[in-house]
Amino acid sequence: MSGGPARRRLLGPQALEHIRSGLSGRDLAIVGQVADLRLMTARQIRAVHFPLSEHEGELAAARACQRVLARLVRDGLLVRLERRIGGVRAGSAGYIYGLGQAGQKVLGLEGPRRRVYEPAGRFVDHTLAVTELIVSVTEAARRGVLELLSLQPEPHCHRQFSGLGGRSVLRPDLFLALGVGELELRWFVEVDRGTESLPVVRAKCRAYDAYYRSGREQAAHGVFPRVCWLVPGEARAEGVERTIARDRRLERRLFAVTTDADVLGVLTGRTG
C-alpha cells in the first residue's frame, strides 16, 4: 500500500473525533461505499460521487475528486494500492483505493481490525469488475433509465438455506432490485472473469437451483430473482450458456448470460 507514512499512526478518541468532525456527507459516502465494495478506482469514485452535473466539466470533477481522495488517504480513512488499473499512463484515475483503519473506526464497523495489505491481482480484477457494474447501474439510474431500489454487495447478498445436503450458503457477487416502468426486476449477479472452469460454473448454477427449489426466497419476497452471469466476451458467454443448457437438472429460465456491452439491457428486461 502507498499513500501514508511508514509509521502507523495510533488514533486515540480525540484524534478520531477530530477527523470525524471534519468529514462532509460526501466524504462519509465515499468511505462507506469503499468499505461496502472493498475496492474502487479513483475513476469509479469520481463517476459516483462527483457527477458532471455538479462541476464545470470533467477536469474540474477530476481535480475535486483528487483533492478529496488525497485528504482521505492522508487521514487514514482510505488506503491506496501500489497497483494501478491501466498502468502509469492511466494517471491518478487508475489508482485503487481500499478502506483504511481510521475509516473502519469512523464507520464504527465491528469485527477484527482490517489488515492493510496488497491483494492479489485476481481478487482486484474481480472486485473492480463488480464495482464497475454498480457504477454503470448508478449512472443509469441518474439518467432515468431505471430506479435503483436495492443494492446488496457481498456479504449482505448471501443467502442461507436448507437443502438436500443440509445447511448451505449461496454467495452471489451482488443482488439488485431495479424499478423499470411499473416493474420491479430482481437479480442475483455473478461476475465471471473467465478464470473458473465450466464445471465450477455448473456447480454454482446448481447452488442457485437448489436455493430456488428450497422456496425460501419466494416465501420472503414473493418472487425468485433471475441470475445474471456477466462474462468477459462472446466466447465465454457461449461456453456458459452451453454448460447451463446441457444440465437437465437446472431450471433454465432462471439464468441469463451477457457481456458488459449488453448487461444493462438484460438487467432492465429490454434484451435477453
pLDDT, one tens digit per residue, over 147-191 is: 999 999 999 999 999 877 788 999 999 999 999 999 999 999 999
CATH topology of domain 127-267: Trna Endonuclease; Chain: A, domain 1 (3.40.1350)
Q: Do domains 13-118 and 127-267 have the same CATH topology?
A: no
Give 111's DSSP letter: S
Burial of 253 (0-12, 13-18, 19+ CB in 10 A): exposed
Q: What is the pLDDT of residue 12?
A: 74
Which amino acid belongs to residue 118?
E
Place of cell 437479480: 187
| Statement: the pTM of the whole predicted model exceeds 0.85 | yes
What are the boundaries of each domain within the chain? 13-118, 127-267
Q: What is the pLDDT of residue 17?
A: 81
Tell me the C-alpha to C-alpha distance, in Å, between residue 9 and each of 4, 70, 77, 108: 9, 17, 12, 18
* Nearest-10 Cα torsion for 200, 204, 209, 214: 130
Please identify, in words, the CATH class of the domain defined by 13-118.
Answer: mainly alpha
**Mean pLDDT value across the chain:** 90
Q: What is the pLDDT of residue 166?
A: 81
Splitting the chain (272 residues) into consecutive groups of 10 residues, what average pLDDT does each group show?
Answer: 48 79 94 97 97 85 95 96 71 88 89 66 94 97 97 96 85 98 97 96 97 96 97 97 97 96 96 70
The enclosing H or E element of 229 equals strand 226-231
Query: Directed axis angle between helix 58-74 and helix 25-37, to 10°?
Result: 80
Give 254's DSSP letter: G
